Amino acid sequence: MKSITLLFLAPFFLFAQTRIAIVGGGMAGVSALYHLQEYDKEAKITLFEKEAVLGGNATTVAIKNTKGEICTVDAGPQYFADQAWEDYLDFIEKTIGKEEIKYESVGGSLVIRQVYEENAIIATPLNGKMRGEKLGNLLKFKKLNEEAHRLYKEADKHSGLTIEAWVASLNFDEDYKQQIVYPFLGSSLGVSVHDIRKMSAVDIVKLFAFRKPKMSDKFHIMQEGMGTIIQKIGASVKNPNVTIHTSALVHDVLLKENTYLVTYHKNGKSVTEEFDFVIMAVHANTAAKILASDLAFKSISNTLKTFPYFEAKIVIHNDDSFVHHKKPAFLNIFTDKEHNIVSSTMNLDLISPRLKGIYKSWMNTEDAEKVRKQNKLLYETVFYHPMITVEFVENLKILHHQIDNFAPNFCIIGGWSEGLETQNSAVLSGKRALEIYKRFKQQH
Ligand SMILES: Cc1cc2nc3c(=O)[nH]c(=O)nc-3n(C[C@H](O)[C@H](O)[C@H](O)COP(=O)(O)OP(=O)(O)OC[C@H]3O[C@@H](n4cnc5c(N)ncnc54)[C@H](O)[C@@H]3O)c2cc1C
């Protein structure tokens, strides 16, 4: 009799579990997955990732160094620094353990020069050591960083300020602005000088001005790659109520009274499942497409469509003509006669002997083709970056407001949804999903 009662009640208990769908397995989705399952061990959580592995933008690739040894390189995000990445580091420590965090460091040095010219317009010291750089230029560069740090500290007072308006307010001569300031700002985000002008000043300086300028600032690179770390975090979740579906492309999400129907394609089949809580952890324009099938999401979709993205071609190669030999620097920017950015190259060689002769560039198709023809191309891919313009930041406020008023069991996260795209902001957005989930659980 007892077993019959249990059998009868089982479906009820199964149903009573909150069914959560997370769409997207980049850092934001994985952060949401970890934090929600820690909070509610009983919830049945399914994460959908269209690619075969977790990681999203964080794509670690295995390539051969000049000695023929296989080594890991991040094609997407690759660096973090001591400040502004605290949540990221804390999250990794909590999930896979402090001992797993093995990183190498490099000084944040810079060389800007016109294509094919040997003379660098500016070179900052490497690891604090001067190498005949022009003192006047160095002082100006220090001043630029101080101004950026000041803006970062006073961000609240300057919302709505474009990079163009901020640069106009700086007390530098026009040549310095064109030759140094714009190429440096553009390449810190991988955009053209034209596009960086429209971006939100307070949001862009967050990428490099989070600490007081020092000559020996260091950036850190994960030895096994940021992408590998995300895959490890996914594997560290041992909760039997969690399912991670890779190679599962979510096609649409429909509202069904108070629940959602999520349809995904996996192994050539289309499957629809019902969920009580949905977390979208994909780019804004992807979320807009997934939600477009249901009119209930119309205004949210319309706002999502307003967020602009740009394409960035990343090439990993061993063509050393992209870096300066006499004044080696981590970041090497090539500009044309009009001071537009032609390419921007990270000299990975400076990080560690394992990365000897390996460079990572944002470059145009023409240059990529030249590198390929010389047999020096090791890996190439294209990423889509959000353009954090002033309108982007304004529309983000509108989006958050629309979602708050839409339903308590729905949220949209992602590095971009915090107004700054880093691995750290992606982790934070996952924590934000937990706060929304907690509110939902308190109401139900
Ligand atoms: C070239 C480049 C360099 C960068 N450098 C740095 C850096 O040095 N340091 C740093 O901290 N940050 C850096 N960033 C930013 C950082 O990569 C992002 O902020 C972060 O990875 C965003 O994570 P996310 O989870 O929000 O998005 P994503 O990583 O884009 O994850 C979204 C996921 O959703 C999946 N998906 C999309 N559509 C669907 C669908 N229909 N169904 C199922 N799954 C779907 C995607 O495959 C992807 O895995 C860089 C970004 C780029 C592109």
289 and 424 part of one domain: yes
Beta bridge partners of 220: 80, 105
Q: Does residue 331 line the site of ligand 1, with CB under 6 A?
A: no
Indicate the SS3 state at residue 282: coil
Q: Is 187 in the pocket of ligand 1 (CB under 6 A)?
A: no
Q: Are residues 171 and 116 in the same domain?
A: yes
At position 50, the amino acid (one-letter code) is K
Residue type present at position 70: I
Distance CA 224, CA 228 (A): 6
pLDDT band at 210 (very low <50, low <70, confident <90, very high): confident
Classify residue 94: in a domain, yes or no.
no
Verify that 126 and 203 share a domain, yes or no: yes
Distance 77 CA to ligand 1 centre (A): 8
Q: What atom in ligand 1 is closest to the CA of residue 57? A: 29
The C-alpha angle with vertex 340 and arms to 336 and 346, in degrees rounded to 5, equals 85
Using a 6 Å cutoff on CB, does residue 74 contact ligand 1?
no
224 backbone dihedrals φ, ψ, rounded to 5°: -90, -5
Domain membership of residue 87 (yes or no) is no
Taking only the tens place, the pLDDT of each residue in 228-248 is: 999 999 999 999 999 999 999
Q: Domain total for the chain?
A: 2
* Structure tokens, 351: 């990080």
pLDDT band at 6 (very low <50, low <70, confident <90, very high): very low
The reply to whether 435 and 294 lie within a common domain is yes
- In the DSSP assignment, the letter for residue 267 is T
Task: Taking residues 204-212, report their average pLDDT.
Answer: 86
In a domain, 77, yes or no: no
Cα(27) to ligand 1 centroid in Å equals: 7
Pairing mode of beta strands 19-23, 103-107: unpaired
Condensed to tens digits (0 to 9), the pLDDT of residues 15-49 reads 579 999 999 999 999 999 999 999 999 999 999 99
Are 203 and 331 contained in the same domain?
yes
239 close to 37: Cβ distance less than 8 angstroms: yes
Mutate to test the pocket of ligand 1, among 278, 307, 346, 422 (most ligand atoms within 8 A of CB): 422
58 ligand 1 Cβ < 6 A = yes
CA–CA gap between residue 396 and residue 317 (Å, rounded): 37
Radius of gyration of the chain (CA): 24
Phi and psi torsions of 378, nearest 5°: -105, -30
Residue 12: the pLDDT is 43
What value does the mean pLDDT take over residues 157-173?
96
Most informative mutation of 35, 57, 86 for ligand 1 (most atoms within 8 A of CB): 57
Q: What's the mean pLDDT in 89-101?
A: 94
Compute the distance from residue 121 Cα to the ligand 1 centre, in Å: 34
Ligand 1 proximity of 108 Cβ (cutoff 6 Å): no
**302 and 316 assigned to the same domain:** no
357-370 pLDDT, tens digit each:
999 999 999 999 99
SS3 339: coil
Alpha-carbon distance 238 to 98, whole Å?
A: 18
* Ligand 1 centre distance from Cα of residue 58 (Å): 6
Selection from 351, 350, 348, 352 nearest residue 361 by Cα:
348
Is there a single domain that holds both residue 426 and residue 303? yes
Is the domain of 299 the same as that of 320?
Answer: no
Whether residues 341 and 265 fall in one domain: no
> Residue 320: pLDDT above 90?
yes
What is the CATH classification number for the domain harbouring 14?
A: 3.50.50.60
Q: Is the CB of 225 under 6 A from ligand 1?
A: no
Ligand 1 geometric centre to CA of 308 (Å): 15
Residue 139 lies in a domain: yes
81 assigned to some structural domain: no
Q: From ligand 1's centre to the CA of 339, what distance in Å?
A: 30
Give the C-alpha separation, 26 to 29, whole Å.
5
Which atom of ligand 1 is the closest one to the Cα of 264? 42
In this predicted model, which residue has the larger pLDDT, 208 or 253? 253
In a domain, 346, yes or no: yes
Q: Is the CB of 46 under 6 A from ligand 1?
A: no
Average pLDDT in the chain = 92
- Measured in angstroms, how far is the CA atom of residue 361 from the centroid of ligand 1? 18
96 occurs within a structural domain: no
Residues 6+ apart with CB under 8 A from 252: 262, 263, 290, 291, 292, 293, 294
Last residue of a domain, one of 337, 370, 386: 386
**Is 276 found in the same domain as 202?**
no
pLDDT in tens, 193-207: 999 999 999 999 988
The whole model's pTM is what?
Answer: 0.94
**Is residue 166 situated within a structural domain?**
yes
Give the Å distance between the CA of 419 and the centre of ligand 1.
14
Tell me the β-bridge partners of 280: 23, 412
Domain boundary among the residues 343, 366, 386 is at 386
Q: How far, in Å, CA of 264 to CA of 282, rounded?
A: 14
**Structural domain ending residue among the three candidates 386, 411, 430:** 386
- 123 in Cβ contact with 353 (< 8 Å): no
Residue nearest to atom 7 of ligand 1 (CA): 77
- Asked whether residue 275 falls in the same domain as residue 303, the answer is yes
Ligand 1 binding pocket includes 417 (Cβ within 6 Å): no
Give the whole-angstrom CA distance, residue 38 versus residue 254: 27
Distance 207 CA to ligand 1 centre (A): 16
Residue nearest to ligand 1 atom 6, measured at CA: 77
The Cα–Cα gap between 200 and 196 comes to 9
Q: How far apart (Å, rounded) are the C-alpha atoms in residues 350 and 360? A: 12
Structural domain boundaries, residue 348 = 64-70+107-217+309-386
Q: Are residues 112 and 38 in the same domain?
A: no
